[in-house]
Amino acid sequence: MSEAKATRRVTVANHTGLHIRPISLLAKLASQFRARIEVVKDRQRANAKSVLELLSLGGQPGEEFLLEAEGEDAEAAVEALARLFAQGFHEDEAQTAH
């Protein structure tokens, strides 16, 4: 039985980029899924459940990434993560302090 796969292209929409808070939200959300999820930029790959690996991608505002998931809930996982990217990690609601 082959594992379900899903991919989605996403853009860093919040204007401060992927600093620690957005990445913590991303990793926390990714950890709710069983699928193996990776965030890919060029030849760099990060496990979407690891804050340290995600930080190493250095997501500047406007940059594009590819989400790749593999596992029974792969489609739901990339859908949820893509939505978080599109919502700009809720930063506009929680603006001010850095």
* Cβ neighbours of 92 (radius 10 Å): 11
Measured distance CA(46)–CA(57) in Å, rounded: 7
| Interaction of residue 84 with other proteins, rule CB under 8 A | no
3-state secondary structure of 79: helix
CB of 18 to other proteins, least distance (A): 7
How many chain residues interact with other proteins (CB under 8 A)? 24
- Is 15 annotated as catalytic? no
> Which residue lies nearer to other proteins by CB, 60 or 72?
60
Judged by CB under 8 A, which of 8, 16, 73, 79 binds other proteins? 16
CA 44 – CA 92 distance, rounded (Å): 28
Indicate which residue of 15, 19, 90, 98 is catalytic. 19
* Dist. CA 28–CA 48, nearest whole Å: 9
Residues that bind other proteins (CB under 8 A): 15-21, 24, 27-28, 50-60, 94, 97-98
Q: Which residues are catalytic?
A: 19
